[in-house]
Structure 1
């Protein structure tokens, strides 16, 4: 059975014919719509988590149960008030109009946040990070928001370690993401974290979005438009992805792109937001994570498959990227896959 949606068709979570009936715990996600909410981002949690084949229940509330004005020319009516925040496993705060940004929280917003259970995860999208910072939740922590708002955020909340170069930051129970589509990125990240890449990839395909985006916000910052005749690095990136197990060098990449080393490095950084070497390491870690989740290959063999010289090198890079060992990562995600 398929459900017809405005974005096409997605699997009916009650249909057990394709992936089997899910019998594990269902996580409750509560989306808190504030006055001036952006409609697009408000719908992201339901679209992503709602496509996860019954693993999540998504509810939307306001601070008083009453309709809220959106950033567009209409208001939004919800079914729930702040009482559902007490039952949430994950709370998502979508962005709202810039005119409503303040270093001081309205009392009704502060009261709603106090209703959230201490063990619940809290996720912000774009300007939602201002709410978490104003509540004191981000003090001394790493966080992100839209790159255009970084100067204002740093001025208002100097005690927050703001990283405006990334799409999202995962600080365990507190996650912050950048503008608009990065809300999709962080929600897919949580599906992947909770249930593994296999399900996250199915959700991404259902939503017609990439399961993982390379680079950070740097690639979206306005830059001069390149000459139409100028070659890019996309073809070379694809070529490299097909050869991750080989000892690729910057010279190899530049030669494939038919550019000088300096020109290739500059153009690559402009397009991707990071150096070719850092990008290669990131792609090798991503591929290693997929193999750790989906196979029983030994760590040393996986290291060779993805282009790391030794298992020790893989362990170092994986720990630097996500803070865990290959064995711990495998135990976590293979358990999620089997649940």
Structure 2
């Protein structure tokens, strides 16, 4: 049993990838304050939406139902993780006809927060095209910023393609009817962490995780792309197979003199401290040109770990696609196993 845990960073250049509620016709990026400092961020919900939208065209997506009105309206997906990868990996809650079915996410994503404080710039604009001479333009403005945003990731691999059929409270993922349909399509009964469940064939579970990793390598999305188009693929990604599901790599990016810093000494110390929990090499994808002076320095500082195959350093796309290929080929099938309680 293993969890894939780690970190992801995006390099935002003069962008507004995720916006909050505007004020007085001024669009504002999402941001949080710590004392007097401002930290722009991309919400986990937004990043997960980018991933969903970046799935291959032919991949089935769970349809959304919207019902009610006003304060009593709700929206929910089909709640069929046996049929739809996004219901499986991103989770859901369906509450209809006095029945509630819920699936906790397999992919946990933290908020991608600016590594160092940033003060967003207000971009001023007007609309006056085809207005009569002398008519006042329509004025509008919105915020944008440049910065590195980073957040944590966790993939609970034993739960991929495994759906609870009993439990307490909202733990039940499938109704009896859906569970029967899943069995008829090839799923088998199993036990997941002390709870009865049905499990998809291993080949399909491998395929779904591999597809998610490949999608992460080519994710696209974000707000205001007409004016602030930019790359949204990971500039840096760290993934490590860890047996217990703790993520010890949350602090590999820090700040120094107002700039983001990759902290090689932190990575080295965490690898040493968690060596007994690691179930394979730590994978670091680092795009050339991103914190470029630090990339070569980190390669030198960590050369012994790289030589010992404890650490792999390459391009994010190469790292993610290669890992997807190994997962799909069955090289990491033990990661999907979960000890019976």
Q: What's the TM-score, normalizing by structure 2?
A: 0.31
Q: Which protein is richer in helix relative to its size? A: 1
Q: Which protein is richer in strand relative to its size? A: 2
Structure number with greater CO (CA < 8 Å, separation at least 6) is 2
Q: What's the TM-score, normalizing by structure 1?
A: 0.31
